[in-house]
Chains A and B, each alone.
Chain A
Amino acid sequence: MKILIADSNTVNQKITQHILSQREIQSDFGNDATELINLLNENNYLLILIDLNMLLNNEESIQQNLMTKLNQTPLIAFTEPSDFKAYNLSSSLRIDGILNKPYEMRELFEMIEKHTPYNSNVREKESQEEFKKSLFKYADNSAEFAFELVDCFIENYEGYKEQVALALTKKDPKSLKEAIHKIETSNRIFSINSLEEVTEKIKCLIHKPTSEIDRNIINQLELKCDSIIIKLDSVKQNIKS
């Protein structure tokens, strides 16, 4: 499974590529329309994710060439929510879905699942089964209560991202320590180890001046939390069905 992402922001590229690779989705990146056309000539993609402005800010001939190359491949555009001009212009193009920037990984995966045959692979399903088992144990083996609890955990992981970012901004070691304790406690419920490395890195950030804080580390935490939220959401759908 391979998708093409057209985003000139290199930080976004790296983050997106990393999270996609965790779900065993290969991705190529194009920085401009010419690169996209070259990549489309050489590869087959199951989905194209493109910055709407990259699609619109080209000569008409390039735009037409690009749209021809895209053919019937599902096309998802991402744009600033306030960019109504781009949004209106996009109505004349064949676009299958719009994501508002900054988009969350959960939204991206929803688009991928909606427009491609991609679905949770076996490994992911196994992992979801582990999550489900842990959740049921915590919910005293009540499916009804487990369903109710998932939302609490999703809310918790959403909150952890904000609590950590706020504690770092305010330079508040006590709040940071508490936020990390909370993350570690929730992680133990689901036997999650993937956050250990990033939480250790975050602990070291608290004494650094704000200007020296590596935003990528906070992004890593956000992505890992998002990845857990996606799994919890899948477990919720699974319980519901």
Chain B
Amino acid sequence: MKKILVCDDDEALISMIRFKLSKENYGEVVKVADGREAMHELIYHDFDMIITDIHMPYFSGLELVTFVREKLGDKTPIIVLSVEGIENTVTEAFQLGADDFISKPFSPNELSMRVKRLLSA
């Protein structure tokens, strides 16, 4: 069973992600609300995918991508969630090693397609 780490502090969004990914049998969703919790989870557990917001308390999504790629040397697929109007930040996320980004708000189907593509890559 695959494990997906979702980092965001929006309970509605997290619930939607968890609901959709469980419904489509993508695997278990582990949720965390900030970058510090995410790093803690990543140190002690293995994940098949990371979905992270860019704006998070303690450590941003960009710092999390850097942590995964540089400190952990991990190639786990990472999807970055962003709001409209921060194109530069999204470009930076790709440069740091993110695999995909989704602009908020997004539909459950869009999420499902992106996750499916990366998990089967």
Contacts and interface: CB of A to CB of B under 8 A. Distances in A.
B23 A152 contact: no
A142 B108 CA distance: 11
Contacts, number: 45
A45 interface: no
B55 A178 contact: yes
Contacts of B107: 137-138
B16 A184 contact: no
A140 B83 contact: no
A149 interface: yes
Q: Say what secondary structure dominates the interface of chain B.
A: helix
B10 to A, nearest CB: 7
Interface string A170-205: 000000001001101110110000000000000000
A239 to B, nearest CB: 15
Contact of B12 (A137, A142, A149, A188): A149
A149 to B, nearest CB: 6
B105 A189 contact: yes
A184 B19 contact: no
B91 interface: no
A153 interface: yes
Contacts of A138: 12, 16, 105, 107-108
Contacts of A153: 12
Contacts of B105: 138, 185-186, 188-189
A173 B20 CA distance: 34
B7 to A, nearest CB: 15
B15 interface: yes
A152 B83 contact: no
Contact of A181 (B16, B55, B108): B55
A139 interface: yes
B19 A140 contact: yes
Nearest to A156: B12
Given A152-B15, A181-B55, A140 B10 contact: no
Contacts of B83: 181, 184-185
A156 B16 contact: no
A152 B8 CA distance: 13
A113 B4 CA distance: 45
A138 B84 CA distance: 18
Interface of B: 10-12, 15-16, 19-20, 23, 55, 83-84, 104-105, 107-109
16 contacts: A138-B12, A138-B105, A140-B19, A140-B20, A140-B109, A152-B12, A153-B12, A155-B11, A156-B10, A184-B83, A185-B83, A185-B104, A186-B12, A186-B105, A188-B104, A189-B105
